[in-house]
Chain A
Protein backbone atom coordinates (compact mmCIF):
# COMPACT_ATOMS: atom_id res chain seq x y z
CA UNK A 1 0.00 0.00 0.00
CA UNK A 2 1.25 3.45 -0.93
CA UNK A 3 -0.06 6.48 0.95
CA UNK A 4 0.64 10.13 0.29
CA UNK A 5 -0.43 13.58 -0.74
CA UNK A 6 -0.90 14.92 -4.27
CA UNK A 7 1.13 17.42 -6.28
CA UNK A 8 -1.01 18.22 -9.31
CA UNK A 9 0.48 19.08 -12.72
CA UNK A 10 -1.09 19.62 -16.14
CA UNK A 11 -0.78 18.02 -19.59
CA UNK A 12 2.40 17.59 -21.66
CA UNK A 13 4.95 17.76 -18.85
CA UNK A 14 8.13 17.13 -20.84
CA UNK A 15 11.47 15.77 -19.68
CA UNK A 16 12.76 19.34 -20.17
CA UNK A 17 10.20 20.47 -17.56
CA UNK A 18 11.14 17.62 -15.22
CA UNK A 19 14.88 18.20 -15.38
CA UNK A 20 16.04 20.82 -17.93
CA UNK A 21 19.12 20.61 -20.12
CA UNK A 22 20.75 23.50 -18.29
CA UNK A 23 21.48 20.99 -15.49
CA UNK A 24 23.03 18.53 -17.94
CA UNK A 25 26.36 18.77 -16.10
CA UNK A 26 24.81 17.53 -12.83
CA UNK A 27 23.62 14.21 -14.21
CA UNK A 28 26.44 12.29 -12.55
CA UNK A 29 25.44 13.88 -9.20
CA UNK A 30 21.83 12.76 -8.83
CA UNK A 31 21.18 14.20 -5.30
CA UNK A 32 22.29 17.64 -6.52
CA UNK A 33 20.42 17.24 -9.83
CA UNK A 34 17.25 16.27 -7.94
CA UNK A 35 17.20 19.65 -6.15
CA UNK A 36 16.06 21.09 -9.51
CA UNK A 37 13.24 18.60 -10.14
CA UNK A 38 10.34 20.31 -11.97
CA UNK A 39 11.63 23.73 -10.85
CA UNK A 40 10.27 25.55 -13.92
CA UNK A 41 6.70 24.26 -13.42
CA UNK A 42 6.33 23.44 -9.71
CA UNK A 43 9.09 25.26 -7.85
CA UNK A 44 7.51 24.39 -4.48
CA UNK A 45 7.60 20.63 -5.05
CA UNK A 46 11.18 20.01 -3.99
CA UNK A 47 10.68 22.14 -0.87
CA UNK A 48 7.35 20.65 0.21
CA UNK A 49 7.51 17.00 -0.89
CA UNK A 50 7.37 14.27 1.75
CA UNK A 51 8.53 10.70 1.18
CA UNK A 52 5.74 8.77 -0.51
CA UNK A 53 3.83 11.74 -1.98
CA UNK A 54 2.39 11.46 -5.50
CA UNK A 55 2.61 13.44 -8.72
CA UNK A 56 -0.74 13.49 -10.51
CA UNK A 57 -0.77 14.86 -14.06
CA UNK A 58 -2.68 14.81 -17.33
CA UNK A 59 -1.88 13.64 -20.83
CA UNK A 60 1.46 12.60 -22.34
CA UNK A 61 3.52 12.88 -19.16
CA UNK A 62 7.27 12.64 -19.73
CA UNK A 63 7.31 13.34 -23.44
CA UNK A 64 10.64 14.18 -25.02
CA UNK A 65 14.09 12.96 -24.24
CA UNK A 66 15.22 9.47 -23.22
CA UNK A 67 16.94 10.85 -20.11
CA UNK A 68 16.38 8.29 -17.36
CA UNK A 69 17.31 11.11 -14.99
CA UNK A 70 13.73 12.37 -15.37
CA UNK A 71 12.09 9.50 -13.44
CA UNK A 72 15.27 9.16 -11.36
CA UNK A 73 15.04 12.68 -9.87
CA UNK A 74 11.30 12.24 -9.26
CA UNK A 75 12.03 9.06 -7.31
CA UNK A 76 15.02 10.65 -5.56
CA UNK A 77 12.98 13.54 -4.12
CA UNK A 78 10.63 10.96 -2.57
CA UNK A 79 7.69 10.65 -4.97
CA UNK A 80 6.15 7.20 -4.48
CA UNK A 81 4.19 6.97 -7.75
CA UNK A 82 3.16 9.08 -10.74
CA UNK A 83 -0.53 9.01 -11.75
CA UNK A 84 -1.33 10.17 -15.28
CA UNK A 85 -3.99 10.14 -17.99
CA UNK A 86 -1.32 8.94 -20.43
CA UNK A 87 2.46 8.65 -20.52
CA UNK A 88 5.17 8.90 -23.18
CA UNK A 89 6.70 5.50 -23.87
CA UNK A 90 10.37 6.06 -23.04
CA UNK A 91 9.53 7.76 -19.74
CA UNK A 92 7.17 4.89 -18.89
CA UNK A 93 9.84 2.28 -19.59
CA UNK A 94 12.50 4.22 -17.71
CA UNK A 95 10.29 4.72 -14.66
CA UNK A 96 9.46 1.02 -14.39
CA UNK A 97 13.13 0.15 -14.96
CA UNK A 98 14.14 2.16 -11.89
CA UNK A 99 11.19 0.96 -9.79
CA UNK A 100 8.99 4.08 -9.94
CA UNK A 101 5.33 3.10 -10.55
CA UNK A 102 3.56 5.10 -13.27
CA UNK A 103 -0.18 4.45 -13.03
CA UNK A 104 -2.48 5.24 -15.93
CA UNK A 105 -5.93 6.29 -14.73
CA UNK A 106 -8.55 9.04 -14.90
CA UNK A 107 -6.82 11.81 -12.95
CA UNK A 108 -9.30 14.60 -13.67
CA UNK A 109 -11.04 14.59 -10.29
CA UNK A 110 -7.90 14.29 -8.19
CA UNK A 111 -6.76 17.68 -6.90
CA UNK A 112 -3.64 19.09 -5.30
CA UNK A 113 -3.26 18.21 -1.62
CA UNK A 114 -5.69 15.24 -1.83
CA UNK A 115 -4.65 12.21 0.24
CA UNK A 116 -4.46 8.98 -1.76
CA UNK A 117 -4.07 5.33 -0.80
CA UNK A 118 -2.89 3.06 -3.63
CA UNK A 119 -3.15 -0.72 -3.54
CA UNK A 120 -0.65 -1.90 -6.15
CA UNK A 121 -1.76 -5.53 -5.92
CA UNK A 122 -5.45 -4.79 -6.40
CA UNK A 123 -4.87 -1.98 -8.89
CA UNK A 124 -6.98 0.53 -6.98
CA UNK A 125 -6.59 4.15 -5.95
CA UNK A 126 -8.62 5.67 -3.10
CA UNK A 127 -8.96 9.44 -2.89
CA UNK A 128 -9.37 9.67 0.88
CA UNK A 129 -10.01 13.44 0.80
CA UNK A 130 -12.87 13.20 -1.68
CA UNK A 131 -14.04 9.67 -0.86
CA UNK A 132 -13.92 8.02 -4.29
CA UNK A 133 -12.15 5.00 -5.77
CA UNK A 134 -10.40 4.54 -9.12
CA UNK A 135 -8.74 1.67 -10.91
CA UNK A 136 -5.51 1.99 -12.85
CA UNK A 137 -4.70 0.22 -16.13
CA UNK A 138 -2.92 -3.12 -16.02
CA UNK A 139 0.73 -3.16 -17.05
CA UNK A 140 2.10 -5.54 -19.69
CA UNK A 141 3.23 -8.73 -17.91
CA UNK A 142 6.94 -8.11 -18.33
CA UNK A 143 6.59 -4.68 -16.73
CA UNK A 144 4.74 -6.12 -13.71
CA UNK A 145 7.63 -8.52 -13.21
CA UNK A 146 10.30 -5.80 -13.61
CA UNK A 147 8.46 -3.47 -11.21
CA UNK A 148 7.90 -6.38 -8.82
CA UNK A 149 11.66 -6.91 -8.57
CA UNK A 150 12.20 -3.20 -7.95
CA UNK A 151 13.55 -2.42 -11.41
CA UNK A 152 15.32 -3.88 -14.44
CA UNK A 153 18.73 -4.44 -12.81
CA UNK A 154 17.40 -6.56 -9.92
CA UNK A 155 15.12 -8.35 -12.41
CA UNK A 156 18.05 -9.28 -14.66
CA UNK A 157 20.23 -10.17 -11.67
CA UNK A 158 17.53 -12.60 -10.53
CA UNK A 159 16.65 -14.15 -13.90
CA UNK A 160 19.89 -13.62 -15.85
CA UNK A 161 17.79 -12.84 -18.90
CA UNK A 162 14.40 -11.59 -20.06
CA UNK A 163 11.77 -14.15 -19.13
CA UNK A 164 8.83 -13.30 -21.34
CA UNK A 165 5.90 -15.62 -21.79
CA UNK A 166 4.44 -14.92 -25.22
Chain B
Protein backbone atom coordinates (compact mmCIF):
# COMPACT_ATOMS: atom_id res chain seq x y z
CA UNK B 1 0.00 0.00 0.00
CA UNK B 2 1.22 3.48 -0.86
CA UNK B 3 2.31 5.58 2.09
CA UNK B 4 2.56 9.23 3.07
CA UNK B 5 5.89 10.55 4.38
CA UNK B 6 4.61 10.21 7.95
CA UNK B 7 3.50 6.60 7.41
CA UNK B 8 6.80 5.74 5.74
CA UNK B 9 8.99 7.16 8.48
CA UNK B 10 6.93 5.71 11.31
CA UNK B 11 6.81 2.29 9.59
CA UNK B 12 10.58 2.29 9.22
CA UNK B 13 11.19 3.31 12.83
CA UNK B 14 8.60 1.03 14.42
CA UNK B 15 9.19 -2.09 12.36
CA UNK B 16 5.49 -2.22 11.50
CA UNK B 17 3.35 -1.47 8.48
CA UNK B 18 2.15 1.78 10.05
CA UNK B 19 -1.12 3.31 8.85
CA UNK B 20 -2.79 6.57 9.85
CA UNK B 21 -4.86 6.02 12.99
CA UNK B 22 -2.66 3.26 14.42
CA UNK B 23 -0.49 3.60 17.50
CA UNK B 24 3.16 2.64 17.16
CA UNK B 25 6.18 2.55 19.43
CA UNK B 26 8.92 4.22 17.40
CA UNK B 27 12.69 4.30 17.74
CA UNK B 28 13.85 7.82 18.62
CA UNK B 29 16.80 9.08 16.57
CA UNK B 30 17.31 12.31 18.53
CA UNK B 31 15.86 13.58 21.82
CA UNK B 32 16.40 17.05 23.23
CA UNK B 33 15.18 19.59 25.75
CA UNK B 34 15.89 23.27 26.34
CA UNK B 35 16.38 25.40 29.43
CA UNK B 36 12.64 26.00 29.92
CA UNK B 37 11.67 22.33 29.72
CA UNK B 38 15.00 20.60 30.46
CA UNK B 39 15.06 20.99 34.25
CA UNK B 40 11.74 19.14 34.55
CA UNK B 41 12.99 16.58 32.01
CA UNK B 42 16.05 15.94 34.19
CA UNK B 43 13.94 15.69 37.36
CA UNK B 44 11.51 13.26 35.72
CA UNK B 45 14.42 11.19 34.36
CA UNK B 46 15.77 10.93 37.90
CA UNK B 47 12.34 10.35 39.46
CA UNK B 48 11.91 7.47 37.03
CA UNK B 49 14.98 5.88 38.55
CA UNK B 50 16.96 6.05 35.31
CA UNK B 51 20.73 6.40 35.42
CA UNK B 52 21.76 6.04 31.77
CA UNK B 53 20.78 7.67 28.52
CA UNK B 54 19.77 5.30 25.76
CA UNK B 55 21.88 7.18 23.22
CA UNK B 56 24.01 9.95 24.79
CA UNK B 57 25.44 11.24 21.50
CA UNK B 58 21.87 11.78 20.26
CA UNK B 59 20.64 13.46 23.47
CA UNK B 60 21.02 17.24 23.68
CA UNK B 61 20.43 19.86 26.34
CA UNK B 62 20.14 23.39 24.93
CA UNK B 63 20.58 26.62 26.88
CA UNK B 64 18.85 29.04 24.51
CA UNK B 65 15.63 30.48 25.95
CA UNK B 66 17.31 32.40 28.77
CA UNK B 67 20.75 32.88 27.35
CA UNK B 68 22.73 34.29 29.03
CA UNK B 69 20.63 33.86 32.16
CA UNK B 70 18.91 37.05 33.35
CA UNK B 71 17.88 35.64 36.76
CA UNK B 72 19.50 33.52 39.45
CA UNK B 73 16.73 30.91 39.34
CA UNK B 74 17.54 30.35 35.66
CA UNK B 75 21.27 30.34 36.35
CA UNK B 76 20.61 27.48 38.76
CA UNK B 77 18.55 25.68 36.11
CA UNK B 78 21.49 26.06 33.72
CA UNK B 79 23.82 24.51 36.29
CA UNK B 80 21.43 21.55 36.60
CA UNK B 81 21.41 21.00 32.82
CA UNK B 82 25.17 21.42 32.43
CA UNK B 83 25.91 18.91 35.17
CA UNK B 84 23.33 16.42 33.84
CA UNK B 85 24.90 16.61 30.37
CA UNK B 86 28.38 16.15 31.84
CA UNK B 87 27.41 13.21 34.08
CA UNK B 88 25.36 11.36 31.49
CA UNK B 89 27.52 12.13 28.47
CA UNK B 90 24.80 14.07 26.64
CA UNK B 91 25.57 16.89 24.21
CA UNK B 92 25.44 20.36 25.78
CA UNK B 93 24.68 23.40 23.65
CA UNK B 94 25.53 26.32 25.90
CA UNK B 95 24.49 29.98 25.90
CA UNK B 96 25.46 31.79 22.71
CA UNK B 97 25.46 28.62 20.59
CA UNK B 98 21.97 29.36 19.30
CA UNK B 99 18.34 28.27 19.17
CA UNK B 100 17.85 24.52 19.58
CA UNK B 101 15.92 24.10 16.31
CA UNK B 102 18.56 25.85 14.24
CA UNK B 103 21.34 23.72 15.72
CA UNK B 104 19.28 20.56 15.24
CA UNK B 105 18.84 21.63 11.61
CA UNK B 106 22.52 22.36 11.06
CA UNK B 107 24.05 19.46 12.94
CA UNK B 108 21.63 16.73 14.00
CA UNK B 109 18.37 16.19 12.08
CA UNK B 110 18.60 13.23 9.67
CA UNK B 111 16.04 12.44 6.94
CA UNK B 112 13.82 9.51 7.87
CA UNK B 113 14.52 9.62 11.61
CA UNK B 114 12.15 10.37 14.49
CA UNK B 115 13.20 13.52 16.35
CA UNK B 116 11.48 14.44 19.62
CA UNK B 117 12.12 17.65 21.51
CA UNK B 118 10.67 19.27 24.60
CA UNK B 119 9.74 22.33 22.57
CA UNK B 120 6.74 22.75 20.31
CA UNK B 121 8.81 24.13 17.42
CA UNK B 122 10.70 20.83 17.14
CA UNK B 123 8.60 20.48 13.98
CA UNK B 124 11.29 22.61 12.28
CA UNK B 125 13.22 19.38 11.59
CA UNK B 126 10.46 18.22 9.24
CA UNK B 127 12.14 20.38 6.61
CA UNK B 128 14.88 17.76 6.18
CA UNK B 129 12.39 14.89 6.12
CA UNK B 130 12.68 13.94 9.80
CA UNK B 131 9.52 13.05 11.71
CA UNK B 132 10.21 15.86 14.17
CA UNK B 133 7.62 16.64 16.83
CA UNK B 134 7.32 18.46 20.14
CA UNK B 135 6.42 16.80 23.42
CA UNK B 136 6.59 17.67 27.10
CA UNK B 137 9.31 17.05 29.65
CA UNK B 138 8.12 13.66 30.90
CA UNK B 139 7.75 12.22 27.39
CA UNK B 140 11.24 13.44 26.55
CA UNK B 141 12.70 12.04 29.78
CA UNK B 142 11.31 8.63 28.84
CA UNK B 143 12.53 8.98 25.24
CA UNK B 144 16.02 9.83 26.53
CA UNK B 145 15.96 6.81 28.85
CA UNK B 146 14.38 4.18 26.61
CA UNK B 147 15.24 5.48 23.13
CA UNK B 148 11.63 5.17 22.02
CA UNK B 149 8.23 6.79 22.28
CA UNK B 150 4.62 6.04 21.40
CA UNK B 151 2.97 7.90 18.55
CA UNK B 152 -0.44 7.94 16.95
CA UNK B 153 0.31 7.72 13.22
CA UNK B 154 -1.22 10.94 11.90
CA UNK B 155 -3.47 11.45 8.94
CA UNK B 156 -1.83 13.79 6.43
CA UNK B 157 -2.99 17.06 4.90
CA UNK B 158 -1.16 17.61 1.62
CA UNK B 159 -0.24 21.21 0.85
CA UNK B 160 0.49 21.65 -2.86
CA UNK B 161 2.23 24.91 -3.72
CA UNK B 162 2.71 26.03 -7.33
CA UNK B 163 3.86 29.28 -8.90
CA UNK B 164 6.45 31.90 -7.98
CA UNK B 165 6.38 34.49 -5.23
CA UNK B 166 6.16 38.08 -6.42
CA UNK B 167 8.95 40.38 -5.23
CA UNK B 168 8.51 41.16 -1.52
CA UNK B 169 6.68 37.91 -0.74
CA UNK B 170 8.48 35.08 1.04
CA UNK B 171 8.04 31.64 2.61
CA UNK B 172 7.00 33.37 5.86
CA UNK B 173 4.10 35.06 4.10
CA UNK B 174 3.05 31.71 2.66
CA UNK B 175 2.97 29.90 6.00
CA UNK B 176 1.17 32.81 7.72
CA UNK B 177 -1.38 32.76 4.90
CA UNK B 178 -1.84 28.99 5.27
CA UNK B 179 -2.31 29.26 9.05
CA UNK B 180 -4.92 31.96 8.46
CA UNK B 181 -6.74 29.65 6.04
CA UNK B 182 -6.54 26.53 8.23
CA UNK B 183 -7.03 28.24 11.64
CA UNK B 184 -5.00 27.47 14.74
CA UNK B 185 -6.61 24.04 15.12
CA UNK B 186 -7.29 23.26 11.46
CA UNK B 187 -4.77 20.42 11.36
CA UNK B 188 -4.71 19.26 15.00
CA UNK B 189 -3.11 15.79 15.29
CA UNK B 190 -2.45 15.75 11.51
CA UNK B 191 0.80 15.75 9.56
CA UNK B 192 1.26 18.49 6.97
CA UNK B 193 3.12 17.35 3.86
CA UNK B 194 4.45 20.15 1.62
CA UNK B 195 4.76 19.46 -2.10
CA UNK B 196 4.53 21.05 -5.53
CA UNK B 197 6.95 22.76 -7.88
CA UNK B 198 7.43 25.81 -5.60
CA UNK B 199 8.42 23.57 -2.70
CA UNK B 200 10.89 21.59 -4.82
CA UNK B 201 12.65 24.85 -5.69
CA UNK B 202 12.69 26.24 -2.17
CA UNK B 203 16.02 26.47 -0.37
CA UNK B 204 16.36 24.95 3.09
CA UNK B 205 15.93 28.29 4.91
CA UNK B 206 12.49 28.62 3.35
CA UNK B 207 11.62 25.02 4.16
CA UNK B 208 12.69 25.49 7.79
CA UNK B 209 10.54 28.62 8.11
CA UNK B 210 7.50 26.74 6.85
CA UNK B 211 8.07 23.52 8.83
CA UNK B 212 8.72 25.59 11.97
CA UNK B 213 5.21 27.05 11.92
CA UNK B 214 3.34 23.82 11.08
CA UNK B 215 2.53 23.51 14.79
CA UNK B 216 0.57 26.80 14.61
CA UNK B 217 -2.14 24.88 12.72
CA UNK B 218 -2.17 22.26 15.49
CA UNK B 219 -0.17 19.83 13.32
CA UNK B 220 2.04 17.18 14.83
CA UNK B 221 4.66 17.45 12.11
CA UNK B 222 5.34 19.48 8.93
CA UNK B 223 7.14 17.24 6.45
CA UNK B 224 9.13 17.91 3.31
CA UNK B 225 10.52 15.23 0.99
CA UNK B 226 14.27 14.74 1.26
CA UNK B 227 15.70 15.66 -2.15
CA UNK B 228 18.67 17.24 -3.91
CA UNK B 229 18.21 20.51 -1.99
CA UNK B 230 18.33 18.55 1.28
CA UNK B 231 21.48 16.77 0.13
CA UNK B 232 23.21 20.04 -0.76
CA UNK B 233 22.28 21.48 2.63
CA UNK B 234 23.60 18.47 4.55
CA UNK B 235 26.76 18.57 2.42
CA UNK B 236 27.26 22.24 3.27
CA UNK B 237 26.78 21.37 6.96
CA UNK B 238 29.56 18.80 6.65
CA UNK B 239 27.33 15.77 6.99
CA UNK B 240 26.49 14.79 3.46
CA UNK B 241 26.84 11.12 4.40
CA UNK B 242 23.67 11.44 6.52
CA UNK B 243 21.55 12.23 3.46
CA UNK B 244 19.03 9.72 2.26
CA UNK B 245 16.32 10.39 -0.32
CA UNK B 246 12.74 10.22 0.91
CA UNK B 247 9.55 10.76 -1.09
CA UNK B 248 5.90 9.96 -0.40
CA UNK B 249 4.50 7.09 -2.47
CA UNK B 250 2.34 7.73 -5.52
CA UNK B 251 -1.23 7.02 -4.51
CA UNK B 252 -0.76 7.61 -0.77
CA UNK B 253 -4.03 8.45 0.99
CA UNK B 254 -4.46 12.03 2.19
CA UNK B 255 -7.08 13.44 4.53
CA UNK B 256 -7.37 16.49 2.30
CA UNK B 257 -5.34 18.50 -0.23
CA UNK B 258 -4.92 22.25 -0.18
CA UNK B 259 -3.59 24.06 -3.25
CA UNK B 260 -1.84 27.39 -2.96
CA UNK B 261 -0.82 29.65 -5.85
CA UNK B 262 2.35 31.29 -4.54
CA UNK B 263 2.02 34.01 -7.17
CA UNK B 264 -1.28 35.19 -5.70
CA UNK B 265 0.11 35.80 -2.19
CA UNK B 266 0.74 39.21 -0.65
CA UNK B 267 3.02 40.06 2.27
CA UNK B 268 1.01 38.75 5.22
CA UNK B 269 0.79 39.79 8.86
CA UNK B 270 -0.59 37.97 11.92
CA UNK B 271 -2.37 40.49 14.11
CA UNK B 272 -2.61 40.30 17.92
CA UNK B 273 -3.27 37.95 19.71
CA UNK B 274 -3.38 34.77 17.59
CA UNK B 275 -1.25 33.51 14.71
CA UNK B 276 -4.30 32.67 12.58
CA UNK B 277 -5.56 36.27 12.81
CA UNK B 278 -3.94 37.11 9.48
CA UNK B 279 -4.35 39.99 7.04
CA UNK B 280 -2.52 41.27 3.97
CA UNK B 281 0.02 43.92 4.94
CA UNK B 282 -1.99 46.49 2.98
CA UNK B 283 -4.73 46.35 5.66
CA UNK B 284 -2.26 47.45 8.32
CA UNK B 285 -0.13 50.10 6.61
CA UNK B 286 0.68 52.89 9.05
CA UNK B 287 0.31 50.90 12.27
CA UNK B 288 2.90 52.45 14.59
CA UNK B 289 5.60 50.02 15.77
CA UNK B 290 7.67 50.55 18.93
CA UNK B 291 9.97 47.56 18.46
CA UNK B 292 11.02 45.39 15.55
CA UNK B 293 12.45 41.98 16.44
CA UNK B 294 14.26 39.96 13.77
CA UNK B 295 15.53 36.48 14.52
CA UNK B 296 14.29 33.19 16.09
CA UNK B 297 14.00 29.62 14.83
CA UNK B 298 11.48 30.92 12.29
CA UNK B 299 13.52 33.66 10.62
CA UNK B 300 16.98 34.07 12.13
CA UNK B 301 18.98 32.32 9.41
CA UNK B 302 21.63 33.74 7.09
CA UNK B 303 19.20 34.08 4.17
CA UNK B 304 16.88 36.12 6.41
CA UNK B 305 19.69 38.40 7.59
CA UNK B 306 20.80 38.85 3.96
CA UNK B 307 17.32 40.15 3.05
CA UNK B 308 17.27 42.43 6.08
CA UNK B 309 20.78 43.78 5.47
CA UNK B 310 19.90 44.40 1.81
CA UNK B 311 17.00 46.61 2.91
CA UNK B 312 18.78 48.35 5.79
CA UNK B 313 21.96 49.15 3.85
CA UNK B 314 22.36 52.94 3.80
CA UNK B 315 19.21 53.27 5.90
CA UNK B 316 18.55 53.87 9.57
CA UNK B 317 15.86 52.58 11.85
CA UNK B 318 13.15 55.12 12.65
CA UNK B 319 14.20 57.08 15.76
CA UNK B 320 11.05 55.97 17.63
CA UNK B 321 11.41 52.29 16.70
CA UNK B 322 13.87 49.98 18.42
CA UNK B 323 15.45 47.30 16.27
CA UNK B 324 16.59 44.03 17.89
CA UNK B 325 18.32 41.32 15.85
CA UNK B 326 19.31 37.86 17.09
CA UNK B 327 21.07 35.42 14.73
CA UNK B 328 19.63 31.92 15.17
CA UNK B 329 23.00 30.27 15.77
CA UNK B 330 26.68 30.98 16.25
CA UNK B 331 27.28 29.67 12.73
CA UNK B 332 24.72 32.11 11.32
CA UNK B 333 26.29 34.93 13.36
CA UNK B 334 29.79 34.18 12.05
CA UNK B 335 28.61 33.90 8.45
CA UNK B 336 26.62 37.15 8.80
CA UNK B 337 29.77 38.89 10.02
CA UNK B 338 31.81 37.43 7.17
CA UNK B 339 29.21 38.71 4.70
CA UNK B 340 29.18 42.15 6.35
CA UNK B 341 25.48 41.92 7.31
CA UNK B 342 26.05 42.51 11.00
CA UNK B 343 28.03 45.70 10.27
CA UNK B 344 25.15 46.96 8.11
CA UNK B 345 22.63 46.17 10.84
CA UNK B 346 24.65 47.89 13.55
CA UNK B 347 25.08 50.99 11.36
CA UNK B 348 21.32 50.98 10.79
CA UNK B 349 20.80 51.18 14.54
CA UNK B 350 20.15 47.54 15.44
CA UNK B 351 20.93 46.08 18.86
CA UNK B 352 22.49 42.66 18.20
CA UNK B 353 21.64 39.90 20.67
CA UNK B 354 23.66 36.73 21.20
CA UNK B 355 22.48 33.72 19.18
CA UNK B 356 19.44 32.29 20.99
CA UNK B 357 15.72 32.86 21.47
CA UNK B 358 16.28 36.48 22.59
CA UNK B 359 13.02 38.46 22.88
CA UNK B 360 10.73 35.74 21.51
CA UNK B 361 9.51 34.18 24.76
CA UNK B 362 9.29 37.21 27.06
CA UNK B 363 12.19 36.14 29.24
CA UNK B 364 14.70 38.86 28.38
CA UNK B 365 16.35 40.98 25.67
CA UNK B 366 13.34 43.02 24.60
CA UNK B 367 10.33 42.73 26.93
CA UNK B 368 7.60 45.12 25.78
CA UNK B 369 6.15 47.97 27.86
CA UNK B 370 2.43 48.43 28.55
CA UNK B 371 0.59 49.41 25.38
CA UNK B 372 3.59 48.87 23.09
CA UNK B 373 3.50 47.16 19.71
CA UNK B 374 6.15 44.88 18.26
CA UNK B 375 6.57 43.59 14.72
CA UNK B 376 8.39 40.28 15.06
CA UNK B 377 9.67 37.63 12.66
CA UNK B 378 8.93 34.95 15.29
CA UNK B 379 6.19 32.34 15.22
CA UNK B 380 3.82 33.33 18.04
CA UNK B 381 1.96 36.46 19.07
CA UNK B 382 -0.15 35.16 21.95
CA UNK B 383 -1.17 37.65 24.59
CA UNK B 384 1.76 38.00 26.97
CA UNK B 385 4.15 36.08 24.74
CA UNK B 386 6.86 38.75 24.84
CA UNK B 387 6.62 39.26 28.58
CA UNK B 388 3.71 41.70 28.90
CA UNK B 389 0.00 40.86 28.49
CA UNK B 390 -0.68 44.57 27.88
CA UNK B 391 1.35 44.67 24.67
CA UNK B 392 0.59 43.82 21.04
CA UNK B 393 2.60 41.55 18.73
CA UNK B 394 2.37 41.47 14.94
CA UNK B 395 4.17 38.73 12.97
CA UNK B 396 5.65 39.18 9.51
CA UNK B 397 8.54 38.35 7.20
CA UNK B 398 12.08 39.68 7.69
CA UNK B 399 11.56 42.02 4.71
CA UNK B 400 8.35 43.45 6.17
CA UNK B 401 10.10 43.81 9.53
CA UNK B 402 13.10 45.61 8.01
CA UNK B 403 11.10 48.15 5.97
CA UNK B 404 8.82 48.75 8.95
CA UNK B 405 11.86 49.44 11.16
CA UNK B 406 12.90 52.20 8.75
CA UNK B 407 9.46 53.78 8.56
CA UNK B 408 8.48 53.22 12.21
CA UNK B 409 5.16 51.77 11.11
CA UNK B 410 3.93 48.69 9.28
CA UNK B 411 5.09 49.10 5.68
CA UNK B 412 4.59 47.07 2.50
CA UNK B 413 8.00 45.72 1.41
CA UNK B 414 6.80 45.73 -2.22
CA UNK B 415 6.92 49.54 -2.12
CA UNK B 416 10.53 49.39 -1.09
CA UNK B 417 12.16 46.69 -3.19
Contacts of A64-96 to chain B: CB distance below 8 A? 64-69, 72, 86, 88-90, 93-94
Report the separation of the CA atoms of residues A154 and B294 in the bound assembly, to the nearest whole angstrom: 43
Q: Are B66 and A20 in contact, CB atoms less than 8 angstroms apart?
A: no
Residue interface bits A43-75, CB-to-B below 8 A is 1, else 0: 000000000000000011001111111001000
Q: Is A152 in contact with B73, judged by CB distance below 8 angstroms?
A: no
- Chain B 188-209 interface 0/1 with A at a Cβ cutoff of 8 Å (1 = within): 1100000000000000000000
Which stretch in A118-126, A129-137, A155-163 binds the other chain? A155-163
Contact B274 A164 (CB under 8 A): no
Contact with B along A92-111 (1 / 0, CB 8 A): 01100110000000000000
User: Of A26, A60, A93, which one neighbours B136 at CB under 8 angstroms?
Assistant: A93
Which B residues are CB-close (under 8 A) to A25?
66, 70-71, 73-74, 363
Minimal Cβ-Cβ distance residue in B for A155: B142
Which residues in B have their C-beta under 8 angstroms from that of A12?
Answer: 184, 274
Interface range for B: 35 or more
Which of A29, A40, A68, A164 contacts B138, CB < 8 Å? A68
Chain A residues near B363: list those with CB within 8 A.
Answer: 21-22, 24-25
> How would residues 113 to 150 of chain A score, 1 for a CB under 8 Å from any chain B CB and 0 otherwise?
00000000000000000000000000011100000000
Interface membership of A166, Cβ < 8 A = yes
**Chain B residues, CB < 8 A from A22:** 362-363, 367, 384, 387-388
Q: Is B185's CB under 8 angstroms from A60's CB? A: yes
Q: Which residues of B contact A64 (CB under 8 A)?
A: 120, 380, 382
* Contact A162–B138 (Cβ < 8 Å): no
Residue contact B382 to A16, C-beta cutoff 8 Å: yes
- A53 CB to closest chain B CB, in angstroms? 23
Whether the pair B36, A27 counts as a contact (CB closer than 8 A) is yes
Produce 1/0 per residue, A1-40, CB < 8 A to B. 0000000000010101100111011111100000000001
B8 interface residue, CB < 8 Å from A? no
Which chain B residue lies CB-closest to A154? B48
B49 at the interface (CB under 8 A from A): yes
Task: Give B145's nearest chain A residue, CB to CB.
Answer: A156
How many Å from the CB of A122 to the closest CB on chain B? 24
**Cα distance A157–B146 in the bound complex, in angstroms:** 12
Q: Which of B118, B134, B189, B361 touches A24 (beta carbons < 8 Å)?
A: B361
What sequence of 0s and 1s flags, for each residue 383-399 of chain B, a beta carbon within 8 Å of any chain A beta carbon? 11111110000000000
- Indicate whether A42 reaches chain B with its CB closer than 8 angstroms: no
Asked if A40 and B48 make an inter-chain contact with CB atoms under 8 angstroms apart, the answer reads no
Q: In angstroms, how far is the closest chain B Cβ from the Cβ of A62? A: 11
Size of interface on A: residues with Cβ below 8 Å to B: 44
> For the complex, is A112 an interface residue (Cβ under 8 Å from B)?
no
- The distance in angstroms between the C-alpha atoms of A161 and B54, with both chains bound, is 13
Which residues of chain B from 150 to 195 have a CB within 8 Å of any chain A CB?
150, 152, 184-185, 188-189
Q: How far is the CB of B223 from chain A (nearest CB, A)?
A: 16
Partner of B25, one of A17, A66, A162: A162
Q: A39 to B322, alpha carbons, bound, how many Å?
A: 29
Tell which of A12, A20, A94 has the most Cβ of chain B within 10 Å: A20
Inter-chain contacts of A151 with B (CB < 8 A): 138
Evaluate whether A21 and B134 lie within 8 angstroms (CB atoms) in the complex, with A89-B189, A142-B23, A157-B48 already known: no
Question: Is B295 interfacial (CB-CB < 8 Å)?
Answer: no
- Which of B39-47, B280-288, B341-349 lies at the interface with chain A? B39-47
Say yes or no for B227: interface residue by CB 8 A criterion. no
Q: Kindly list chain A residues whose C-beta atoms are within 8 Å of the C-beta of B44.
A: 153
B218 contacts A68, C-beta separation under 8 Å: no
10 A-B contacts, Cβ less than 8 Å apart?
A: A17-B382, A21-B361, A21-B387, A24-B362, A65-B120, A66-B37, A68-B118, A88-B218, A90-B120, A140-B152
Residues of B within 8 A of A (CB): 16, 22-25, 36-37, 39-40, 44, 47-49, 65-66, 70-71, 73-74, 76-77, 80, 117-120, 122, 134-139, 142, 146, 148-150, 152, 184-185, 188-189, 218, 220, 274, 361-363, 367, 380, 382-389
Binding site for B on A (CB under 8 A): 12, 14, 16-17, 20-22, 24-29, 40, 59-60, 63-69, 72, 86, 88-90, 93-94, 97-98, 140-142, 151-153, 156-157, 161-162, 164, 166
